[in-house]
Structure 1
């Protein structure tokens, strides 16, 4: 039997920032412990009634939560909190800060700068070879279509840090990468390759400080470019 929102205690939202408030209300069900990872949310009609929002607003909020990895919507089955949510608090924080682009970018920078320093100490020769492949793929890409290779470059670095505690953050890192990547107005393939080459060289030399420095230069450039065109 599906839970009742009245019993759970969801509050109706005001109409000023509807979609974000819906996200916050649904996330609050997890934070408060009223629902848990894997639970099925009430049906859309009940959510709309209790939150006092339209279907488009609700679906916008649910889409944001799905993109952030907090929920999964299954055709004919309903909407569920993901089982991994409990071990991935970053997804919750991303959901709450969904419209705060500077905070998302800074969170990505904080996470990646730590990971790349650890990667410089732990990355394997095989992972370096895989990293090289992503750089080559970007360099040989057509029409500046290299988003997936770019994401894989950062994914390999994150995984090569080889820390089981931060593994749960990697999915959130990729979500942040996709969010930021979607806001880039124009791509500069040669410049991207140059940044990645510098990071690669530092990792190949097993130099944590240089890896940090080069990753910071890369991410700071991305930050400036995205924020410049999002205001």
Structure 2
């Protein structure tokens, strides 16, 4: 065991739910600051010695951590802690709420209102240009404009430049798109949606977080009420 591994001082695990305890120990390395995002984990052999577990138990734990995006493995290089929060953990959590349309809508509501406020302070000229392009695509579309609509919201979320929430927006919008797939396009009012997007854009262009928040609130409230109404009919 090398000097770096010996300093980590993880506790040996008990015989119950070994794999889960290994997961807890590895996550604890992040929580206590002994390792940081992007750091390389000790080798499998070193981890087995530190935790007093077998290779199958360790590999089961590592596979679980990889599935939820906590670690990633590089061929011939080793296993590393992820350096940012990806979409996989959020996708898994949202899957548990797949049938709860109201909860999905409320989650989108809370996330996007905060993100658009930050975006008003951080959005770049390039991102504003991209937003304007999505509005143009929606305006000139003869049919389904949902892809441009989704891209509009994704650009705003990413322009907020917050890595903790960035991973959430794609699975959240994907889940919402699944909901919209059950609503006929003829029940969507393109004119209202387009104007609301323009209002949000104008507020962002002015770098006004309060107006951006209010414009996004008006839009999402409209979307929420219309979605619930169509689903309940």
Cα separation, partners in 2 of 1:198 and 1:89, compared to 1, 3 Å: same
Q: Secondary structure at the match of 1:132?
A: helix
Corresponding position of 1:65 = none
> 1:1-231 to 2 correspondence within 5 Å?
36-38=64-66, 88-143=88-143, 145-185=144-184, 186-231=187-232
Q: 1:183 to 1:208 in 2, by over 3 A?
A: farther
Larger radius of gyration: 2
TM-score, normalising length from structure 2?
0.61
Contact 2:87 2:170 in 1 (8 A): no
5+ unaligned residues in a row in structure 2: which ranges? 1-18, 20-60, 70-81
Structure 1 residue runs of 5 or longer lacking an equivalent are 1-7, 9-32, 40-68, 71-82
Tell me the distance in 1 between the aligned counterparts of 2:165 and 2:96: 20
- How many residue pairs get aligned? The number is 159
After superposition, give the CA deviation of every residue in 1:193-216 in whole Å (9 maximum; x if it has no partner): 100000001100111111111111
Two-structure CA RMSD over aligned residues (Å): 2.7
TM-score of the superposed pair, with normalisation by structure 1: 0.62
Please list the CA deviations of residues 86-124 of structure 1 after superposition, one character each: whole Å capped at 9, or x if unmatched.
764322221111100000110111111111000000001
Aligned equivalents of 2:107 and 2:204: distance in 1? 22
C-alpha displacement at 1:85, in angstroms? Answer: 9.1
C-alpha contact 1:108 1:176 (8 A) present in aligned 2: no
